[in-house]
A and B are shown apart, each in its own frame.
Chain A
Amino acid sequence: MNGAAILPGTPNATAIAFFLAFVSLTLAITWWAARRTRTTEEFFAAGRRITGRQNGFALAGDYMSAASFLGIAGLVATSGFDGLIYSTGWLVGWPVVLFLIAEPLRNLGRYTFADVVSFRLRQRPVRIAAALGALAVVALYLIAQMVGAGNLIKLMFGLSYQTAIVIVGAVMLAYVLFGGMIATTWVQIVKAALLLGGAALLALLVLARFGFNPLRLFAAAADQYGAAVLAPGKLISSPWEAVSLGLALMFGTAGLPHILMRFYTVPDAPSARQSVFWATGLIGSFYLLTFVLGFGAMVLVGHDAIVAVDKGGNMAAPLLAEALGGTPLLGFIAAVAFATILAVVAGLTLSGAAALSHDLWVNVVRNGNAPHAEQLRVARIASVMLGILAVALGLSFKGQNVAFMVGLAFALAASGNFPALVLSIYWRGYTTAGAVASIVTGTLAAATLIVLSPTVQVDILHHAHAWFPLRNPALVSMPLAFLVGVAISLAAPEAAASDGYAAKERRMILGER
């Protein structure tokens, strides 16, 4: 096969030029956005003037991480069909977000999902629990993104790991601090367009060699590596494991704070609905393209050449780009991957800052009575704190295998945030104690079971056996969170909460007017 001509870790002039162009463009957007960011509503919700279609692109940009672009293309390139199982899992959560969460969330809240959970309940305890649930998910997701960023940039641009982490932290913080949600939204839109455009271009170049027929590509892969590449491999070993991971992926999306926050940037519930429609279409197309890219890399680059550069197969898409379009295309794809990380990290930081400032400071410490200027100032201080935290996490987890942390973040979101959100929106009998109990139980159960799982006990600590058999805890922790929330609410009904349900239901359907 084509021997890989590049040496990974060699600075690539095209990649650096494309990357500088992206950073200049996004910083120009930030400068433009900064002059439009004067209120808290503009800082956290882009003044609620993003259209449904724009928000659909931004949601896709927030969701399609470098892990899904490079990781899934690599998984397909090295093990074929198994990659498709993962891709479908990442997509099926979106219809659930649309049916159960998006519109009620937009009508009931202002900046965070804690707004919705604490509606008609007692503010302080619920906000504290929900904000901590949100921050736990954000922190885990940040670790996975920052460590991935450091490794990727080291491999593609030849920068040191530390330099890469600091650059990501600094550029991302510039977007968030000065341009708030307006800048973050447009960075995500630009990134989504680049990522989808880049993936589509690569897929077209691959398919051009196979008469624009994906089946001829798959047949070529099966000729070369055997029909096993079109059949299930090792990814799904036990049905319990598969169902547990499936639950985390399907219901975790509906509990990710940075995704939920995006629904506040549109003017009303119908635009929130249109944004999921666009996001589902874009993300689904992206995964279909990734499947073609993976098989393209398998056939055109070759399994051995891909694994030689990176054992996990993460360089499959960049190597494919080089095989198809030489150094310029490789540079473009490398810059797109970098841009992808920046956009995701900015969204995460902004949602963490909203939990800290809007939930914890304004509504818990200041009882909901903070002057406007103070809210904005605290929001910016919280963003800086999270930016520093992101860099610190990235540096301290250097060299760790953090791939499982995205799965854990989804499990935490599905167990801690999703049950509380669904019960508070749809169940009249939900109480303050029930909400706090379900968030705390779901989050702690998911975190504890992960620590006791084979991933930590056997793979990381090298113990002979694990206390808990499953790698993903959602099968136990999510039903447990629902059960505890319902049981505690039934044990001690809260009259004020159920009396408030009628008004809540009215606003959930009709909006604030």
Chain B
Amino acid sequence: MTLGLLSRQRWRIATTLSAVMVVAYFGFVLLVAFDKPLVGTIIGPGLSLGVLLGALLIVAAWIVTWIYVRWANTHLDRRVSELRAQGPAP
């Protein structure tokens, strides 16, 4: 794999995961802004939809972080050491 290809692949993964985070967070904020009664719905004893979604958002941040780190620890680091072994750019 060439450096340019690896760089583009990293960019694609970085922007996709960033977009997931942006959509999740601003989705949550806009839901709170536009439909407060829905967010305040009690869905169980001591639990509202808003509290559940807020906690899930924190978990979502952990999950996307973990996905990237896993990809980078395995795939990215291996490609980087292959490219380094090939020596300097022509």
Listed in ascending order, the chain A residues whose CB lies under 8 Å from chain B are 81, 84-85, 87-89, 91-92, 94-96, 98-100, 103, 214-220, 222, 227-228, 230-232, 236, 238-239, 242-243, 246, 250, 270, 273-274, 276-277, 280-281, 284, 287-288, 426, 502, 505-506, 508-511, 513
Contact = CB atoms under 8 A, between A and B. Distances in A.
A284 B29 contact: no
A100 B30 CA distance: 24
Contacts of B89: 502, 506
A241 to B, nearest CB: 8
Of listed B26, B58, B84, residue having the most chain A CB within 10 A = B58
Given A218-B46, A239-B34, A230 B58 contact: no
B42 A513 contact: no
Contact of A231 (B3, B21, B36, B64): B36
20 contacts: A81-B48, A85-B28, A85-B29, A91-B61, A94-B65, A95-B18, A95-B64, A95-B65, A103-B72, A230-B46, A236-B29, A239-B33, A243-B26, A250-B25, A274-B69, A280-B65, A281-B62, A509-B7, A510-B3, A510-B83
Q: Is the interface of A mostly helix, strand, loop or mixed?
A: helix
Given A215-B47, A231-B40, A509-B10, A84 B54 contact: yes
Nearest to B58: A284
B33 A238 contact: yes
A509 B40 contact: no
Contacts, number: 154
A230 B51 contact: yes
A217 B46 contact: yes
Given A81-B51, A250-B25, A513-B84, 20 more contacts: A81-B48, A81-B50, A87-B58, A88-B28, A88-B57, A91-B58, A98-B65, A99-B18, A103-B72, A215-B46, A218-B47, A218-B51, A222-B42, A232-B36, A236-B29, A243-B30, A250-B21, A281-B65, A505-B7, A509-B3
A509 B6 contact: yes
Interface string B46-90: 111011001101110110111011001100010010011000010
B12 to A, nearest CB: 11
A499 B23 CA distance: 35
Interface in B1-34: 3-4, 6-7, 10-11, 13-15, 17-18, 21-22, 24-26, 28-30, 32-34
B28 to A, nearest CB: 7
B51 A84 contact: yes
A228 B65 CA distance: 33
Interface of B: 3-4, 6-7, 10-11, 13-15, 17-18, 21-22, 24-26, 28-30, 32-34, 36-37, 39-40, 42, 44-48, 50-51, 54-55, 57-59, 61-62, 64-66, 68-69, 72-73, 77, 80, 83-84, 89
A511 B37 CA distance: 51
Of listed A243, A284, A288, residue having the most chain B CB within 10 A = A284
Contact of A506 (B3, B28, B55, B59): B3
B20 to A, nearest CB: 9
A359 B90 CA distance: 33
A227 B47 CA distance: 10
A106 to B, nearest CB: 13
A243 B62 contact: no
A63 to B, nearest CB: 14
A232 B39 contact: yes
A315 to B, nearest CB: 24
Contacts of B69: 98, 273-274, 277
Contacts of A217: 46
B48 A280 contact: no
A231 B50 contact: yes
A506 B86 CA distance: 13
Contact of B50 (A232, A242, A276): A232
Contacts of B32: 85, 232, 236, 242
Contacts of A242: 29-30, 32-33
A56 to B, nearest CB: 11
Contacts of A510: 3, 80, 83-84
A239 B28 CA distance: 11
A96 B26 CA distance: 14
Nearest to A274: B69
Of listed A99, A103, A243, residue having the most chain B CB within 10 A = A99
